Each structure stands twice: as C-alpha cells, then as structure tokens.
Chain A
C-alpha cells in the first residue's frame, strides 16, 4: 500500500479560487440568460475574493506538495499585483467586448485561467510548477489575443504570440532538463544546495542560459522582444493591458525566485549577462518607441524599456534591489493598465483610435479623459509625485548603492529620451487642433471605475510610497536569507 501523501490545498487557495471561478463562468455560460454581462461580474467577484484572501493570508507562510508550491509573503505580494491587473482587465472588458460584438463566456473563463496560471507562477517553488504556470498563463493568453476572430490583425497577433511563445517554452523546458540533470532535482532549494556544492558546473551554466532565453521571451527583453509590439497592437486592448501587466509581473516573480534562490551560486554569471540585457533593453525600447505613431505600439516599446529598468534592480540584487523591482512592478501595473484603459475608451467612427493624430485636441472636448491619460503618461515618464518616479528612484538608488554606476547613468539617460515620446502625446492632446476623423469618448461605467482605481493607485504610490516599499522588502527578504 502506498501511503496517501498530504494534500494541503491551502497553499493553492488564492489560485484555486480564481480557477474555480473560471470553471463556474464556463458552466454559467451554458445556461440562460444569453447576455454575458453578469459573467464579467462573476469573474470580478472571484478575483476580488482571491485578492482579499491573499491579503488576509499575509504572514501565514504555507508550503505544500513537497515544497513545490510556496505561499509566502513574496507569492502573496505578487498575488495582489496580479489580482489588480486581472480586475482592471475585467472592468475594462465589460463594455469593450459588447462594443466590438465579441461578448462571450469563454473570454472571462480564459482570463481567469490565465490569472490562475500567473498566481501559480508567483508561488512556484519548483521548476516544474514554473513550467506549468507559464503554460497555463500563456495558452489562455494566446487564445485571448485572437479574440477578434474577424480581424486579421488579431488572428495574426494570436499566431505570432503562440509560435514565439511556444518556441520560448522549448528553450525553458530544455534548460529545466539540463539543470535537473546537473543537480538531480527540480526543486529550488535542492538545486541551490547542489549548485553550491559544485560551483561552475558547465551543465548548470548552459541550463541557466536556456532558462534566461525562455524568460526573456516572456518578459519581452531584448533580443527576445520582437513579438511584443505586434501582439500588443493586434490583440484586443483589454487583453493587451493584461499581457503588459499581469503576465509580465508573473514572469518576473518566477524569474527573481529562480535566480536568487535556485541559482544564487551562479550569480556572477547571470548578473553580468543581465547587466548587458538591461542596458540594451532600455535603450532599444526607448529609441524605437520614438519612431512609433501608433499609441499601442508605442506603449509596447515603452513596456520593453520598463523591463530594462526592472532588470537594473535585479542586477543590483540584494533586498533593496529585488524590493525595488517588486515596488516598480506594482507601480507599473497601475500605470500601464491605466494608460491602455484610457486608450480603450476613445473611439473613432471607423474603429479604434490608436494613432497619435487621433488625440489632437482631445483636451478641449474630453478634458477629464485627457487629464487622466496625461497623468498615466507622466507617471511612465517618471515625474514626481507619481508612482513611476518613486519606482525609478528606488531602482536606480539600489543600483547606485550596489556600485553599478554606469548602468544607472544609462538608465537615467534613457528616462530623458523616454520623456520625448510620452510628452509628445500630451502636446497633441493639449496644444493641437483636432484633425481628421471625429473621435468620441465611449461612456462606460466599469471602464471609468477601472481608470479611477488605477489613478488612485499611482497617486497613492507616488505620495506615500514608504509603506508599500516596506511591504515589498519584507516580501523579498526571506528569499535572500
């Protein structure tokens, strides 16, 4: 008789709530009424319950399934970030889907499955769980990106995202296989012990390289960023908001834990590599963003540049560096989801208003929306007292203290370059006359709520950042013991 292993589902509770809500939405989709509005409400309720549950579990560390799943403060911090990203995406979706005639129950179910995958990634304590989490997250997002079945751009975004994402998964999996072969385990702690006993193992180094390729695709760092602009542009804007925020946060959660816990012995190797990747990613993202006239594409390159900033924190290392990355992810989630949300609420008579010219003179006709979008863009630039400024301050501060002066200089120069293309949009909104096709603001209560939440988030994080930065540091501290 094989003894029954302990089943501690508590460690998966927040992810299970989200996943269960997804299944519930699928089943509710089968029964009347045929309208789908209430399904958005159900999805939102599930995410909010998971969010509150995650907050209430703070400081209650649980490990389960032979340490494969860890529900520690680090995972819970990311659960909160991911739940916010998912909740904002749901709020933005409700009217957007109806407007575009693609209301469906599957949409919310897939969004919830994807969110559950992200949460699994955040609490992964084993490379196998990293693999499963990434796949659950990505497979759902591939389908969501192709939601507009009748639009070629959406279908192509979906296919491109799928092919490159699956390609990245291949690298990731082979890297896991090599690390398993070298250390005899896929568990982070056991890998760390084995790797510390035999430093500079060739197989571990190759495995690390392959893992970084896989993660590089998921966080869209240069040179694995080429999918991001096309997918961001082609996917429905509400899905883009989730891809840009939640999936990036989740991939970073797993990446930080893999690098700082499992592969800490290889830190000299990966910090040199990430130094170069961070510098190239920031610069390429910002320089290419200047040339974009499509706002969704511009924000895609801007998000690539922000990944570069976050990698600076990872290179700096230690509790201040990793804590700064966590804080930045929180700030970045509110800012980017808000910016995409504001774009989503503006519409031309012949489709989406995504060209920068569409925003000319917006401030005169829709002053509130223009001001809101302007604030999100200012936060992306890093103007005090908004969240983006504080996030950059912590990131670059940690890099300076760790002695990475040149990287900081590159980062600050990049922030200056970035100001140009963000401010150009604001100039269009406030100082240009309206041109061409009439644009209008789509009335949406849920969308307004989403923007309000994001706005409160960036102002709150900008005005009183200390408590949140402390929480971020408390969350990462156990990783770096």
Chain B
C-alpha cells in the first residue's frame, strides 16, 4: 500500500495537466476533457485525505462531485452540439465573433 502522499502527488500532477490542457488546447471538447481531469484530481485528493483522516467524509464529497460532473457533461455537450449545428468547424479560435 503506497502512502497517501503519493496519491496527493499524483492528484497534484493531474491537476496541473488539466490546467495546462485547458490553457493550450483549442478544441472545446479537449478543453472540456482537461476540466474533467481537474475535477478528478480533486476527487483523488478528497479520497486520499479522507483515508488519512479516517473518515468517510472525503468519499461522500466525491459522490456529489461525480453527480455534478455528469450534469456538467450533459450541459456542456448540449452547448457544443448546439453551436456545432450553427457552425461546422469546432475550435475556440473560431469564436472570433467575440474575442477570447
């Protein structure tokens, strides 16, 4: 069994990967996936901290986060589909009507 600090380090790395992904990628779907990586990094941190503290609170939070993330996926995909119907290509650089 690896010590908790390893999990925390992994979650920190995941979070950084997610942040960098959001900043450098141009496709809304990929940006969105990077955001999900950030949320799951937080989930991993919650579980690791919860394990160290010896309570189930951290894991309970994860359930809420996952339910909310699912709702977020549904809304996000719907928005992306709606804009895709208007415009055939998909890249945030194409959002030139209003500047980023």
On A, residues with C-beta under 8 Å from B are: 128, 131-132, 135, 139, 142-143, 146, 149-150, 152-153, 155-160, 162-163, 166-167, 169-171, 173-174, 176-178, 180-181, 184-186, 226, 229-230, 233-234
| B94 smallest CB distance to A (angstroms) | 9
**A150-B86 Cα distance, complex, nearest whole Å:** 7
**A335-B9 Cα distance, complex, nearest whole Å:** 48
**A153-B97 Cα distance, complex, nearest whole Å:** 7
Of the candidates A132, A135, A157, A186, which one forms a contact with B57 in the assembled complex, judged by CB atoms under 8 Å apart? A186
Q: Is A153 within 8 A of B86, CB to CB? A: no
Q: Is A152 within 8 A of B86, CB to CB? A: yes
Does B10 reach chain A (CB closer than 8 Å)? no
Q: Is A174 within 8 A of B68, CB to CB? A: no
| B19 smallest CB distance to A (angstroms) | 8
Supposing A139-B75, A226-B100 touch, asked if A173 and B83 sit within 8 A by C-beta, the answer is: no
**A173-B61 Cα distance, complex, nearest whole Å:** 10
Q: Is B79 within 8 A of A173, CB to CB? A: no
Q: Is A135 within 8 A of B83, CB to CB? A: no
Contact count band on B: 35 or more
Q: Is A230 within 8 A of B98, CB to CB? A: yes
Q: Is B79 within 8 A of A142, CB to CB? A: yes
Supposing A142-B79, A166-B35, A234-B98 touch, asked if A131 and B65 sit within 8 A by C-beta, the answer is: yes
Q: Is A166 within 8 A of B68, CB to CB? A: no
Interface centre among A128, A157, A162 (most CB of B within 10 A): A162
Set of chain A residues within 8 Å of B52, measured between Cβ atoms: 181
Q: Is B99 within 8 A of A230, CB to CB? A: yes
Set of chain B residues within 8 Å of A146, measured between Cβ atoms: 79, 82-83
Set of chain B residues within 8 Å of A135, measured between Cβ atoms: 68, 71-72
Chain A-chain B contacts (Cβ-Cβ < 8 Å), number? 120
| A113 smallest CB distance to B (angstroms) | 11
| A56 smallest CB distance to B (angstroms) | 31
Q: A170-B18, A170-B19, A174-B38 are in contact. List 9 more A-B contacts (CB 8 A).
A: A131-B64, A135-B71, A149-B82, A157-B98, A173-B39, A180-B46, A181-B49, A184-B53, A186-B57
Does B89 reach chain A (CB closer than 8 Å)? no
Supposing A160-B95, A184-B53 touch, asked if A176 and B42 sit within 8 A by C-beta, the answer is: yes
**A160-B32 Cα distance, complex, nearest whole Å:** 11
Q: Is B86 within 8 A of A142, CB to CB? A: no
Q: Is A163 within 8 A of B46, CB to CB? A: no
**A233-B99 Cα distance, complex, nearest whole Å:** 11
Of the candidates A149, A163, A169, which one forms a contact with B92 in the assembled complex, judged by CB atoms under 8 Å apart? A163
Set of chain A residues within 8 Å of B61, measured between Cβ atoms: 128, 176, 180, 186
The prevalent SS among residues of A at the interface is helix
Q: Is B97 within 8 A of A177, CB to CB? A: no
Q: Is B95 within 8 A of A159, CB to CB? A: yes
| A127 smallest CB distance to B (angstroms) | 9
On B, residues with C-beta under 8 Å from A are: 8, 11, 15, 18-19, 22, 28, 31-32, 35, 38-39, 41-42, 45-46, 48-49, 52-53, 55, 57-58, 61, 64-65, 68, 71-72, 75-76, 78-80, 82-83, 86-87, 92, 95, 97-100
- A134's nearest neighbour on chain B, judged by CB, is B68
Q: Is B41 within 8 A of A174, CB to CB? A: yes
Set of chain B residues within 8 Å of A158, measured between Cβ atoms: 79, 82-83
- B73's nearest neighbour on chain A, judged by CB, is A166
Q: Is A159 within 8 A of B79, CB to CB? A: yes
Set of chain A residues within 8 Å of B76, measured between Cβ atoms: 142, 162-163, 166
- A184's nearest neighbour on chain B, judged by CB, is B53
Q: Is A142 within 8 A of B75, CB to CB? A: yes
**A150-B31 Cα distance, complex, nearest whole Å:** 24
Supposing A163-B35, A180-B57, A226-B100 touch, asked if A156 and B75 sit within 8 A by C-beta, the answer is: no
Q: Is B49 within 8 A of A233, CB to CB? A: no
Q: Is A177 within 8 A of B83, CB to CB? A: no
| A128 smallest CB distance to B (angstroms) | 6
**A186-B64 Cα distance, complex, nearest whole Å:** 13
Set of chain B residues within 8 Å of A230, measured between Cβ atoms: 98-99
Q: Is A155 within 8 A of B68, CB to CB? A: no
| B47 smallest CB distance to A (angstroms) | 9
| A406 smallest CB distance to B (angstroms) | 33
Of the candidates B42, B75, B87, B95, which one forms a contact with A170 in the assembled complex, judged by CB atoms under 8 Å apart? B42
Supposing A152-B97, A177-B45 touch, asked if A170 and B39 sit within 8 A by C-beta, the answer is: yes
Interface centre among A139, A146, A155 (most CB of B within 10 A): A155
**A166-B71 Cα distance, complex, nearest whole Å:** 12
Q: Is A159 within 8 A of B80, CB to CB? A: yes
- B18's nearest neighbour on chain A, judged by CB, is A170
- B4's nearest neighbour on chain A, judged by CB, is A181
Set of chain B residues within 8 Å of A149, measured between Cβ atoms: 82, 86
Q: Is A132 within 8 A of B64, CB to CB? A: yes
Q: Is A156 within 8 A of B46, CB to CB? A: no
Set of chain A residues within 8 Å of B72, measured between Cβ atoms: 135, 139, 166, 169
Q: Is A173 within 8 A of B82, CB to CB? A: no
| A217 smallest CB distance to B (angstroms) | 12
Supposing A135-B68, A159-B28 touch, asked if A233 and B98 sit within 8 A by C-beta, the answer is: yes
